[in-house]
Amino acid sequence: MNLDASADPRIVMTLDAGGTNLKFTAIRSNRLLVDPIFLPAVPNDLDACLDNIIEGFRRVRALLPGPPVAISFAFPGPADYPAGVVFNENNLPAFRGGVALGPMLEDVFGIPVFLNNDGDLFAYGEAMSGFLPEVNRMLASAGSPKRYSNLLGITLGTGLGGGIVRKGELFIGDNSLAGEVWLLRNLLQPEWNAEEGASIRAVRRVYGEVAGIPFEETPEPKEIFEIGMGRAPGCREAALEAFRRLGVVAGDAIAQALTLVDGLVVLGGGLAGAAPLFLPALLDTVNGVFPRDGRPLRRVVFRVFDFDDPSQREIFLRGEPRELAVPRSGRSIRYDALQRTAIGITRLGTSEAVSLGAYAFALRCLGRQAG
C-alpha cells in the first residue's frame, strides 16, 4: 500500500456516470483540476450517449495544464470492467448486448482507459485517502501496534452498493462482480434481497406502511430523516421505524460480508447522513448473537465499534495490550488481545471518494503496467 496519490503529478480524467447525468472532471495529486462538467446520459440513445461521453472528456482535456495519462471512471454495471465492456440494460437500455466503451475511448484519446463501478471506487478512495489511513494514523498516535489493510465500502442510496479493498488492491473478482452486497439475503424478508430493505425506496416503503399512506405520497428520505429527528411535521413513529429496519438489514448484510473480509467498514451514499437514526440498529445487528443450545454465539467473532462515537473510538484505539510469556523460553511477547474492527461514515464524501478512487486505481494500474 505504498501508493501516495497525493504526491503524484500525473493527471487523470474522470467521470461519474449514472442513468441520468454524466459528471466529468480531472484530478492531479488528489485534487480536482477543473470544475465538474455535466452532460446528460441519454440512456436510451447509444450514439447520443457516446457523443456526450466523448464531448465531456474533450471539454475537460481542453482545460488541463498538461496532457492526461489516463481516463478512469465509474460506470454502472453489469460490465466486464477489465475489458471495458458495458452491458447494462437496466438504467442504460442503449447498452443492451454490450458496448466496448473503454476500447472506444482509448481509440479516441490515445491513452489507457479504466472502468469500475461506483461501489468499488468509493471503497478504493476511502482505502487510499480516507477512512482507512485515518484509522491507522490514529492507532499510531495512540501507540497501538494494530494496523488495518482491508476495507469494506458500503453505499446506501438508490441501491445498496459495495466494494472490497485488500492490502491496497481493489478486489474485483473473476467476473467483475465482487462486493455485490445488494444481492445478499434480506434478514427481515428472506424472499427479498438486501437492497429492498436498505435503499431509498425501502425507507419510503416502510414509512408509507407504518404511516398508512401510499408509496407515491411518501416523502423523500431526507424529509423522513427530519421527521424522525423531530424537526419536521409527519409521522415520527414511521420515520424511526423506516430507518431502524434499514439499519437491521444493512447490518446483517455487513455482518455476512465481514465474516469473509475481516476489515474496516466505511459507509457512504445519499442515506449515510441519516446515520443517527439507523446506525444504532446496524451496530446492534452486527454485534448480535445466534442462539445455540441456550448459549449465545456472536454474529461475527470480533467486536465492531462505532468509530465516530468518542467513547467507542477510545476503546477501539486503546485495545487490550498484553504481555505473554513464551512457553519453554525466558522471553515474553506483547500482543493485542482485543480482536476488533470499526465502522465509520465517509471521510471524503461519496462523490469525491469515487473520484479519488478512480484516480488511485489508474495510477496503480499504470504502475503495474510499467513494472
Kindly report the pTM of this predicted structure: 0.93
17: pLDDT confidence band, cut at 50, 70 and 90? confident
Tell me how crowded residue 330 is: count the other CB atoms within 10 A of its CB: 6
**Where residue 77 falls among pLDDT bands split at 50, 70, 90?**
confident
pLDDT above 80 (res 294): no
Name the band, by pLDDT with cuts 50, 70 and 90, for residue 7.
confident
Instruction: In whole angstroms, give the CA distance from residue 184 to residue 249.
Output: 10
Same fold yes or no, 5-116 and 131-347: yes
pLDDT in tens, 110-161: 999 999 999 999 999 999 999 999 999 999 999 999 999 999 999 999 999 9
CB half-sphere exposure, 269, CA atoms < 13 A:
25
Task: Name the band, by pLDDT with cuts 50, 70 and 90, for residue 73.
Answer: very high
**Can you name the residues that pair with 22 across neighbouring β-strands?**
17, 39
**Prior bond to 78 cis, omega within 30?**
yes
What secondary structure letter does DSSP report for 7? G
Rounded CA-CA distance 270/200 in Å is 8
Q: Where is average pLDDT lowest: 15-24, 103-112, 158-167, 282-291?
A: 15-24
CA gap 55, 48 in Å, rounded: 10
Write the CA distances from 370 to 102, 168, 364, 367, integer angstroms.
Answer: 20, 18, 10, 5
Q: Is 312 exposed, middle or buried (0-12, 13-18, 19+ CB in 10 A)?
A: middle
How far apart CA 51 and CA 105 sit, in angstroms, is 11
- Concatenating the DSSP letter of every residue in 316-359 gives HHH--EEEEEPTTSS-EEEEE---EEEEEE-SS-HHHHHHHHHH
Range of weakest confidence among 90-94, 345-349, 351-355, 362-366 = 90-94
Compute the distance between CA of residue 154 and CA of residue 291 in angstroms, rounded to an integer: 27
Name the grid cell of 83: 475489458
Distance CA 14, CA 105 (A): 12
Distance of CA 158 to the CA centre of its chain: 13
Q: Between helices 221-228 and 236-261, what is the axis angle to 10°?
A: 110
pLDDT tens-digit map of 320-340: 999 999 999 999 999 899 999
Residue 186 is predicted with a pLDDT of 97
Helix axes 101-109, 46-62, angle to 10 degrees: 40
Across the range 65-74, mean pLDDT stands at 96
Q: Into which CATH architecture does domain 5-116 fall?
A: 2-Layer Sandwich (3.30)
Q: Percentage of the chain with pLDDT > 90?
A: 87
What pLDDT was estimated at residue 26?
96
Q: Provide the pLDDT confidence category of residue 370 given band limits of 50, 70 and 90.
A: low
Q: What is the pLDDT of residues 165-214, one digit of tens each?
A: 999 999 999 998 999 999 999 999 999 999 999 999 999 999 999 999 99
Domain ranges of the chain: 5-116, 131-347
Does domain 131-347 fall under CATH 3.30.420.40? My reply is yes
